[in-house]
Amino acid sequence: MAMLTSILKLLGAAVVSTTATAADLKSVTLKGDVTIIALSGDVADGDTEAAEGLIKTANDGNRLISAVRLDSPGGSLAEAVQLANLIHRAKLPTIVAAGSRCASACFIVFAAGNEKFASHDAAIGVHGVSDKFGHETAQTEEATIAMGRIASGFGVPPRIIGRMVTTHAHDIAWLTPSELRAMGTIMTDRPGHRDPPTSSDDRWLAGLDIRSEEETTPQQIDRRSLKDAPEPDRHVSHPQRK
């Protein structure tokens, strides 16, 4: 836990998110009375507390949260570390559905999933850390290395960590299905025919067909709870995209 605290301080000092408001976090009840947490937008301060509140509310209503669905370009490093920590403790699966993306800080949250599910039409990417001015410094390099270590603790293979630490903060290394499978991700559908985005600023998601929640949520997911969860491993997050 001391190591986690020191990493949080390092990340908080290295990167300051420009996000002013927290992500949109809500619980969604799907077909078959399956309840998930859906996160969209930038990861920001308060998201972990909000997610924990959603889990508690579900538990108080005799329901269990089955998974966390992600659609985020990144956000606060320190907050993503804490959110990943919560997800890992609760043994929750993570999902990136068709038409969604999960990059930068979001990748660490995705990697924390007890099980990981992704569509071929999702975009999941990694890159290095920059400061709030978009600069890479000795301090941000340390933060990137720390992030790589935490990702490794979640089972992210060296190839992906290598792409993370060598990709400039203003670029994104989009992961291939084979790379995602190498970190234990289950691909939920067959490959499509869409090209990946050419830059982090592309509004390419607007043209994708978003599938229904019933289709994007794997049927084999077990319901999970925060109750009786083991202590967490270490986690980390990623920089805010301008």
Q: Quick check: helix, strand or coil at residue 66?
A: strand
Exposed/middle/buried for 131, CB within 10 Å: 0-12, 13-18, 19+?
middle
In this prediction, residue 169 carries a pLDDT of 86
8 Å CB contact between 95 and 124: no
234/84: higher pLDDT: 84
77/172: higher pLDDT: 172
In this prediction, residue 176 carries a pLDDT of 96
8 Å CB contact between 79 and 43: yes
Residue pointed to by tokens 């909000």: 50
Cβ neighbour number for residue 24 with a 10 Å cutoff: 14
Cα 50 from Cα 81, distance rounded (Å): 15
Query: Mean pLDDT over residues 96-123, rounded?
Result: 96
Residue pointed to by tokens 């990417």: 125
Query: Mean pLDDT over residues 216-235, rounded?
Result: 40
Pick the closest to residue 38 from 21, 20, 24, 48 (CA basis).
Answer: 24
In this prediction, residue 6 carries a pLDDT of 52
Pick the closest to residue 127 from 113, 147, 152 (CA basis).
Answer: 147
Asked if the model's pLDDT at residue 2 lies above 50, the reply is no
Exposed/middle/buried for 122, CB within 10 Å: 0-12, 13-18, 19+?
buried
**Four-residue CA torsion sign, 65, 102, 173, 170:** negative
Tell me the residue type at 34. Answer: V
Would you give the DSSP letter of residue 204? G
Strand partners, 101: 123
pTM for this entry? 0.75
Cα 165 from Cα 150, distance rounded (Å): 12
pLDDT for 171-180, tens place per residue?
999 999 999 9
